[in-house]
Chains A and B, each alone.
Chain A
Amino acid sequence: MATLVRTFAFAIIAAFAVGSARATEVPPPFALKSISVELPTSDRTFPYGPGVAVMDANCLICHSAGMVLNQPALSKTAWDGIVHKMVKVYKAPIEEADIATIVDYLTATKGAK
């Protein structure tokens, strides 16, 4: 913090030194304050249906359920592509055998009619 205070003192002196004509070039001191916050969590799980346990186990690791539930109705091909992207690109630790269950769940609950 000590160094920060020095910097601000310097800025104030500089502002006086250059006079009002150039005051806009030396903006008023700006103090940053340390912060500590808490982020809310979500306990939302997936709506009941065949495969819901596999969904809850695999699709809530990196993002909360809203990511999936706010999606529009998508084709089975599109859901298959998304689930494979989660595994290949984002390294979702999903068992190969569970992928079909997940795609079926998504197609049944959020599939394009």
Chain B
Amino acid sequence: MTASSAFSYPTTRRRLLGQASALGALSLVAPAWAEELANLGLPGGPSERPLTKAFPQKGEMILQRTRAPLLESPFEVFDKGVFTPNDQLFVRWHWAVIPTEIKVDTYRIAVRGHVKNELSLSLADLMSLPRVELAAVNQCSGNSRGFFEPRVAGGEWGNGAMGNAKWLGVRLKDVLDKAGVKDGAQCVRFGGLDEPMVEGAPKFTKSIAIDHARDGEVMLAFGMNGEQLPLLNGFPIRLIVPGWYSTYWVKMLNNIEVLDGPDDQFWTAKAYMIPDTPGANMKPGEKDVKMVPINRMVPRSFVTNFRGGERLRAGAPTPLRGIAFGGDAGVKAVEVSTDGGATWTQAKLGTDEGKYSFRQWSTQIEPAAGNLTVMVRCTNMNGLTQPATPNWNPSGFMRNVIETTHLPVA
């Protein structure tokens, strides 16, 4: 990241269209021709995105794309606590044919394929199974793609295509046991109510291995932070695959298909592929790299109470805090460096909400005048630490480099 891009992160500013800016300044309500913008600070740009409240059941979000909706959480959200409010958790759909009306009494989930009894479960059937609640981070495979250098095509997210919630639901294992998986099952494929725009295009489906599907952790959630899910986050039922990227967390789930062979459909077999290398890292232009489907998440951590470029007072005791998550394992440690990574100090960890959850960290510094550089790194319970140099791959997946925040001190 260049110094210039790292230094200027105005969170939002008001863009006044037309000439009536004086009038706009007097008006308390944002007029129709004024648009709040978020600046994501992406190298080379474009970095500005409108902020929007136009989406149902969603509060203020960064508008990446209207149709099919791609909405990013404003980063300030992550300083408020480890659970992301439902109305500000990111939204990501591949195809724009999304039902806008869901009736709970007629909704059915099919369980079919390589099973003894095919099922058509109502929501009442599903909710009569034993319940589980689990805190887990939901993160897009391409979260932070916009920071890749060289830049790559795709959803040009900043760091807000992630969120953490308490998911309430039932175990996928219990649902599969109800249908009775036949011997020789290899994987389970999931589909939702969303459909492609044109005929013959690949419907969005994803699959996971049968043992993973039956591990007792993968669940079908109907509750999110104590409420039903917003439609755009997958109401009424969303698959939760703790520790794995969001691409597997199929929304508006209505089809569970047990396969006795590998899944050869596009979104699992051809899309969402990463280099089979540590950290999903390769060189631009590198040939003959073995590619595999994206899978487990890796650790990340962020400063949340200061944005790059914010001014600190020299010598003043200054609290620093943020969030961390371990990916597919809990957070073992979060360390902070203010000397460019030469020395690291352990931060204090907040309440443990479970191994798949965000965890808050905090520490205190007394910065000297000059340009302060704050680096934060997370090590997970498997001993995996965030890398000092960014990874690169052609789809912009799995970014988890140590984040650096530049803060002028005077």
Q: Is the CB of A37 within 8 A of B56?
A: yes
A52 CA to B320 CA, complexed, in Å: 49
- Interface residue B242 (Cβ < 8 Å from any Cβ of A): no
Q: Which of A10, A26, A34 contacts B102 (CB 8 A)?
A: A34
Chain A 78-113 residues near chain B, CB threshold 8 A: 78, 82, 89-93
- In the complex, whether A21 has a CB less than 8 A from a CB of chain B is no
Q: Are B156 and A71 in contact (CB under 8 A)?
A: yes
Q: How many residues of chain A are within 8 Å of chain B by beta carbon? A: 41
Is A42 among interface residues, defined by CB-CB distance under 8 A?
Answer: yes
With contacts A34-B104, A39-B56, A72-B45 known, is A63 near B198, CB below 8 A?
Answer: no
Shortest C-beta distance, A85 to chain B (Å), equals 9
A72 contacts B42, C-beta separation under 8 Å: yes
Interface residues of B in 104-154 (CB under 8 A from A): 104-105, 122-124, 127-128, 130-131, 133, 146, 151, 153
Cα A69 to Cα B133 with chains together (Å): 40
What is the CB-to-nearest-CB distance from B132 to chain A, in angstroms, rounded to a whole number? 9
> Which secondary structure characterizes the binding site on chain B?
loop
| Contacting residues, chain B, for A82 (C-beta < 8 A) | 153
Smallest beta-carbon distance A91→chain B, Å: 4
Interface positions, chain B 347-403, Cβ under 8 Å from A, are none
**Whole-angstrom distance between the Cβ of A6 and the nearest chain B Cβ:** 7
User: How close is B326's CB to chain A, nearest CB, in angstroms?
Assistant: 25
**Cβ of A93 and Cβ of B231 under 8 Å apart?**
no
Please tell me if the beta carbons of B168 and A30 are within 8 angstroms of each other in the complex. yes
Contact B45 A3 (CB under 8 A): no
Task: Specify which chain A residues have a CB less than 8 angstroms from the CB of B199 in the assembled complex.
Answer: 91
B317: CB under 8 A from chain A? no
User: Across the interface, which residues of B come within 8 angstroms of A38, CB to CB?
Assistant: 56, 100
Task: Tell me the smallest distance from the CB of A39 to a CB of chain B, in Å.
Answer: 6
Question: What does the 1/0 interface line of B205-238 toward A look like (CB < 8 Å)?
Answer: 0000000000000000011000010010001100
Q: What residues of chain B lie closer than 8 Å to A69, measured between beta carbons? A: 46
Closest 7 CB pairs of A and B: A37-B56, A42-B66, A72-B151, A3-B124, A66-B65, A36-B101, A91-B201
Taking A34-B101, A64-B67, A70-B49 as given, write out 14 further A-B residue pairs in contact, using a Cβ cutoff of 8 Å, ordered by the A residue number: A27-B133, A35-B231, A36-B101, A38-B56, A38-B100, A40-B54, A63-B96, A71-B153, A82-B153, A89-B270, A90-B201, A90-B202, A91-B200, A93-B198
